[in-house]
Amino acid sequence: MAIPVPPMRELLALWPETLVTVAACGALVAEVVVPPARKRLIGWGCFWALCATFVLLLLMPPQGGSLLSGMLLADGYSAFFKGLFLLATALTILISMRYLDDERSHHGEYYALLLFATIGMMFMASGGDVITIYLGLELMSLPTYALVGFIRRDVTSTEGALKYFLMGAFTSGILLYGLALLYGLTGTTNLGAMSQKLASLSLNDPALMLAVILVVTGFGFKIAAVPFHMWAPDAYEGAPTSITAFMSAAVKAAAFAGLLRVFVVGLAPAAQQWEVLWWVLAALSMVLGNVVALAQTSLKRMLAYSSIAHAGYALLGVVAALHAKGPGVSSVLFYLFAYVFTTMGAFSMIILLSRQGFRGDKITDFAGLGRTHPLPAFVFIVFFLSLAGIPPTAGFVGKMLVFRAAIEGGFVGLAVVGVVTSAIAAYYYFMVIKTMFMDAPVSAAPLSPSRPLTVGLALMVLATLLLGLFPNVVLQAIDAARIVQ
């Protein structure tokens, strides 16, 4: 029997993934042939490959349609997230170069792992089938496990990677079991066909309820929602700070990309079951994430718990996605777009300051920063204001959109929880700002940031401010990124 060959049109539609794959393989080869003194060239090569792919994605947006018998979808939604992943990975490369210069080894493996994880994210965003989404999820997760433990001589890094790997492998099995149950109930793995089949089934079927619970559990772990968040603080603290930024921004955004495809498209008829679950997880994440962040003395752990809370805020839009379909999905997309620049910027400042005469990532290590280094302190303030949702930053617009979507969807109580917990979050963000400007300085060492880190920080600050001042530019792009149903 002849093996069917996909049409050339469908193969050409996968050019973004193909270009990133070529760059990843090139990084592995370059690790062997590039002299040690010029290893940074590998990073620049991967960076420009990602930039070129992003520009081509803007110039040649997908024309729409189903690829490979519905396994992949070429639509505005996938293009939006692919662009976001390319930007996040390119920024990660910029803020990673100083760290890798210090290590003086394994540049190629590091960048290749980043790019392979990005390819997995791109498949998750394009997935029109639960098999594609699951494979993309695993392709994203496996390189990330290795990146978390990249500092092999650091016990904290190894411990965080081990916890992340063990819990990730366990919840991947749970997710797969839930998807298998959905296949058994509907006889299909295609999201569109699954939705049509579920519409004709009894929503009180215990097997369907169990499947929904298992799938919620699997995605809840990937976005670090409470109570599936236990791995996040240790993994975020132990990982290289550049990878912490990558995980908190790009990996979380990819998980939401797959989550929206599965629940808003495939499981839309079962919304009665999963809305309640995500409502509870959103409320728990916002409350616990912000309350526990108050007690942290490590800035990385504080931002880790803050990241858990931000997953809860993004879930506001997920819960409201079917009742306020346009504002619901659009609010999540904008929130994730803004959050990528804001949270990566905050972690990038930790990279800059912890390697420039400051002792580490303790909050007290940044005491007096505003007196000795006003410009870095101002940059830190911009990111903290955005994380707290204070205008005129991107974080303010993002929170306003998800709160509006929740209210329009009829989830006023959940929006109230979000507003109250935002006030709690503002307290600990402003406590850090108070430490930087009112406490006695601990170091007055001059700062000499690397050029790539400086460029990355400048781009993230500009994006955080411009998205807050001119959000319509991105919102218009999001309007074309609706999920195909």
Mind giving me the DSSP string for 381-430? HHHHHHHHT-TTSHHHHHHHHHHHHHHHTT-HHHHHHHHHHHHHHHHHHH
In a domain, 8, yes or no: no
In a domain, 456, yes or no: yes
Residue 443's pLDDT is 64
Radius of gyration of the chain (CA): 22
Numbers of helices and strands, H then E, in the chain: 21, 2
Q: Contact at 8 Å (CB) between 242 and 270?
A: no
In a domain, 5, yes or no: no
Cα separation, 139 vs 113, whole angstroms: 10
| Tokens linked to 12 | 């050409």
Cα separation, 346 vs 460, whole angstroms: 9
Q: Contact at 8 Å (CB) between 147 and 110?
A: yes
| Tokens linked to 282 | 């959103």
Q: Contact at 8 Å (CB) between 47 and 55?
A: no
Residue 444's pLDDT is 64
Please give the tally of structural domains in the chain. Answer: 1
Cα separation, 2 vs 381, whole angstroms: 62
Q: Contact at 8 Å (CB) between 420 and 62?
A: no
Cα separation, 192 vs 267, whole angstroms: 9
In a domain, 484, yes or no: no
For 340-381, the pLDDT digits (tens) are: 999 999 988 888 877 654 456 778 878 888 788 888 888 889
Checking if the pLDDT of 57 tops 90, the result is: no
Residue 325's pLDDT is 58
For 100-145, the pLDDT digits (tens) are: 665 555 678 889 999 999 999 999 998 889 999 999 999 999 999 9
**Cβ-based burial of 9 (10 A; exposed 0-12, middle 13-18, buried ≥19):** exposed
- DSSP tag of 269: G
Checking if the pLDDT of 43 tops 50, the result is: yes
Helix (H, G, I), strand (E, B) or coil at 73: strand
Element (H, E) at 387: helix 374-388
Residue 375's pLDDT is 86
- pLDDT confidence band for 320 (50 / 70 / 90): confident
Residue 75 CB partners (closer than 8 Å, separation 6+): 62, 64, 65, 481, 483, 484
Checking if the pLDDT of 241 tops 50, the result is: yes
Please state the rounded mean pLDDT for residues 266-288: 89
Cα separation, 439 vs 207, whole angstroms: 58
Cα separation, 141 vs 32, whole angstroms: 25
Please state the rounded mean pLDDT for residues 398-413: 90
In a domain, 3, yes or no: no
Beta strand segments in 24-147, E: 66-67, 72-73
For 157-201, the pLDDT digits (tens) are: 788 888 888 888 888 899 999 999 999 988 888 888 898 888 887
User: Among all chains, which residue has been given the structure tokens 């500009």?
Assistant: 462
In a domain, 485, yes or no: no
Please state the rounded mean pLDDT for residues 415-420: 92
Please state the rounded mean pLDDT for residues 402-409: 90
| Tokens linked to 194 | 């699954």
Cα separation, 265 vs 392, whole angstroms: 34
235 against 10, higher pLDDT: 235
First to last CA, the chain: 34
Peptide bond preceding 206 in cis form (omega within 30 of 0): no
Residue 100's pLDDT is 66
Residue 4 CB coordination number (10 Å): 7
For 422-447, the pLDDT digits (tens) are: 999 999 898 888 888 887 776 666 67
Cα separation, 121 vs 86, whole angstroms: 10
> What is the pLDDT of the chain when averaged over all its residues?
85
Residue 259's pLDDT is 92
Helix (H, G, I), strand (E, B) or coil at 67: strand
- pLDDT confidence band for 23 (50 / 70 / 90): very high
For 433-483, the pLDDT digits (tens) are: 888 888 777 666 667 777 888 888 999 999 999 999 998 888 888 887 766
Residue 480's pLDDT is 73
Cα separation, 457 vs 91, whole angstroms: 9
What are the C-alpha distances in Å from 144 to residues 51, 221, 254?
21, 14, 13
In a domain, 360, yes or no: yes
Checking if the pLDDT of 91 tops 90, the result is: yes
Residue 192's pLDDT is 86
Please give the residue range of the domain that contains residue 388: 14-479
Q: Contact at 8 Å (CB) between 28 and 13?
A: no
* Composition of the chain by helix, strand, coil, percent to 5: 75, 0, 20
Residue 485's pLDDT is 45
Would residue 106 be called left, alpha or beta, if left means φ above 0 and alpha means ψ between -120 and 50 degrees? left
Please state the rounded mean pLDDT for residues 40-65: 84
Q: Contact at 8 Å (CB) between 259 and 223?
A: yes
Residue 1's pLDDT is 46
